[in-house]
Amino acid sequence: MDTKDADLSSLRIDRSKRGTAGGDAGKNRKIYAFMIPVAVIAAGAVAALIATSDSAVSVKATTAMIQSPARSEEILEASGYVVAERKAAVASKATGRLVYLGVSEGDKVTKGEVIARLEDNDVMAQLAEAKANLELNEANLSDASWNFNRDKTLLKSGSITESAFESARAGFLKGKASVDVAKANVEAAEVALDNTYVRAPFDGTVISKNADVGEIVAPMAGSINARGTVVTIADMSSLEVEPDVAESNIDKVTPGQPCIIKLDAYPGVQYQGYVSKIIPTANRSKGTVTVKVKFRKYDSRVLPEMSAKVMFLQDGKKLSGASDRPLLTIPGSAVVTRGGKLVVFRIENGKAIETAVVVGRHIGTFVEVKSGLSDGEEIVDSPDRLIKNGVNVKVEK
């Protein structure tokens, strides 16, 4: 087929139809351009509505807690241990086997009371020998004294020579000296016997037993198996606390300064005390200075070696017994007036719950809560007018 005679009219573009299709597309683009901003605005409105319904007010939280009124006057706190000012590790002056021990831990003893005794057979034998030797020397002295008195009479009558008299006189003096030596030996043996008895050096309480019957007791405990001490005694009327105060804070402590003592064993109990002495040396390794704090009054619950905390109060401040009672407290800024009532806002499940409270005395920046709250409850601190009952809150970290 000859290409010159081919019909090419079907390949022509119809200009009139193209214009119609282009007009429809333009209209669609205008509609889309209008709908997109509307959708965006609608989505924003929905998001804002959701955000408004779930919005939470940022607040600062505090906690109701039980604390001592002394906290408002506290300028320093330090930890230490209860110790006895009078304490002795009692040992024997002699070396021997322990044959009697009459006390155990917790027993009370009086000064001079025999609490233990060592084996004394050898010492008793030495004492018996010393007494026998004294009797022998006293007999010799008696004979020498008779001879001396006789020769003195004979010398006056000229019956004996001067040298014979001097010999009798020397024998008498020698006998007298021998008696004195024998008496000293008896006393030494009696002291050695007395050293086998272990006596209490003062009135106190046995706090530890260090040896048992049958063990060897030696003053210096030179032997591996020997015991150096028998018991340890403490004067329970001389208990005090020795807290370690950092060198940087020692200028806050002065003699006579009032203190509050709290034992770790009894968190709800506190005792009044005062600074009795500041030890004039520092611990190089710990960087602390030891302070002695005496109790003004304490009971049988206070025991040596108990751990304790000491609150040093402002100088001149002293709490009475009634004011030492621990109280439930909150910061005063957490209490506001709503509807003529004092209220706080408890935080429960992310909401502020208005709660009426009855307050008592003010303790520094804190206030006592008599009713309405319990220990450990979380509340809003410094609530403003945005904080209402039931409003959502978010605690600031």
Summarize pLDDT for 82-141 with one digit per residue, the tens. 999 999 999 888 888 999 999 999 999 999 999 999 999 999 999 999 999 999 999 999
Q: How far is CA 314 from CA 8, 111, 240, 319, 336, in A?
A: 114, 41, 20, 11, 30
CB 117 within 8 A of CB 103: no
Compare 95 and 321 and report the one with higher pLDDT.
95
Q: Which of 284, 239, 367, 308 is nearest to 77 (CA)?
A: 308
pLDDT band at residue 50, thresholds of 50, 70 and 90? very low
pLDDT of residue 74: 72
Q: What's the pLDDT at 7?
A: 54
Residue 127 is predicted with a pLDDT of 93
Q: Do residues 309 and 248 share a domain?
A: yes
138 and 257 co-located in one domain: no
Instruction: State mean pLDDT over 347-363.
Output: 91
DSSP per position, 236-270: GGGEEEEEEEEGGGGGG--TT-EEEEEETT-TT-E
**Residue 160, Ramachandran bin (φ over 0: left; ψ between -120 and 50: alpha; else beta):** beta
CA-based nearest residue to 296, from 322, 324, 243, 260: 260
* Amino acid letter, 360: G
Residues present in the chain in total: 397
Same structural domain for residues 164 and 208? no
Helices marked H in the chain — which ranges?
A: 15-54, 121-157, 162-194
* In the chain, % of residues over pLDDT 90: 59
CATH classification of the domain holding 220: 2.40.50.100
Q: Which residue(s) pair with 245 in the sheet? A: 289
CB burial of residue 380 (10 Å; 0-12, 13-18, 19+)? buried
Average pLDDT over the chain, rounded to an integer: 84
Of 324, 346, 365, the position where a domain reaches its end is 324
Question: φ, ψ for residue 188 (rounded to 5)?
Answer: -65, -40
Domain contains 39: no
Long-range contacts of the stretch 11-19 (C-beta < 8 A, 24+) = none
Residue 189's pLDDT is what? Answer: 93
pLDDT tens sequence across 169-193: 899 999 999 999 999 999 999 999 9
Q: Let me know whether 348 and 309 are in one domain.
A: no
Note the pLDDT of residue 72.
Answer: 60
Q: What is the pLDDT of residue 183?
A: 95
Within 8 A by CB and 6+ apart from 139, the residues are none
Of 324, 342, 375, which residue is a domain's last?
324
pLDDT the model gives residue 47: 46
Question: Which range is least confidently modeled, 32-46, 109-123, 266-280, 309-323?
Answer: 32-46
Question: In the predicted model, what is the mean pLDDT of residues 336-350?
Answer: 93
Q: Are residues 188 and 131 in the same domain?
A: yes
Cα separation, 186 vs 133, in Å, equals 9
Q: What average pLDDT does range 38-43 have in this prediction? A: 52
145-173: pLDDT as tens digits:
998 888 888 888 888 888 888 888 899 99
Q: Mind listing the pLDDT tens digit for each residue in 69-85?
A: 666 667 889 999 999 99
Q: Is 369 exposed, middle or buried (0-12, 13-18, 19+ CB in 10 A)?
A: buried
DSSP 314: P
Lowest mean pLDDT among 45-54, 95-104, 215-224: 45-54
pLDDT in tens, 84-101: 999 999 988 888 899 999
User: Measured in whole angstroms, how far is the alpha carbon of residue 31 from the centre of its chain?
Assistant: 81
Residue 341 is predicted with a pLDDT of: 92
395 Rama sector, left if φ>0, alpha if ψ -120 to 50, beta otherwise = beta
Q: Is residue 49 part of a domain?
A: no
Reply yes or no on whether the pLDDT at 35 is more than 70: no
d(CA 93, CA 196): 7
138 & 187 share domain: yes
Looking at the structure, tell me whether residues 314 and 349 fall in a common domain: no
Q: What's the pLDDT score for residue 31?
A: 52
The letter for the amino acid at 27 is K
Cα–Cα dist 309/79, whole Å: 4
Q: Tell me, what's the pLDDT at 161?
A: 86
Q: Are residues 129 and 157 in the same domain?
A: yes
Gap between the terminal Cα atoms of the chain: 91
User: Is the pLDDT assigned to residue 220 strictly greater than 80?
Assistant: no
Whether residue 15 is predicted with pLDDT greater than 90 in this model: the reply is no
352, 310: one domain: no
Find how far residue 256's CA is from the centre of its chain: 20
Helix 121-157, helix 162-194: angle, nearest 10: 160
Q: How many domains does the chain have?
A: 4
For residues 160 and 306, the model is more confident at 306
pLDDT at 223: 54
The position carrying tokens 């030996």 is: 185
53 vs 55, residue with greater confidence: 55
- Reading the block at residue 355, the tokens are 């709660």
Q: What is the CATH number of the domain that holds 264?
A: 2.40.30.170
Residue 263: give the domain boundaries: 71-86+238-324
Q: Which residues contact 169 (CB under 8 A, 6 or more apart)?
A: 148, 151
Mean pLDDT of all residues in 197-211: 93
Q: Which residues contact 8 (CB under 8 A, 6 or more apart)?
A: none
Residue reference for tokens 């049988």:
300
pLDDT of residue 29: 55
State the pLDDT at residue 157. Answer: 84
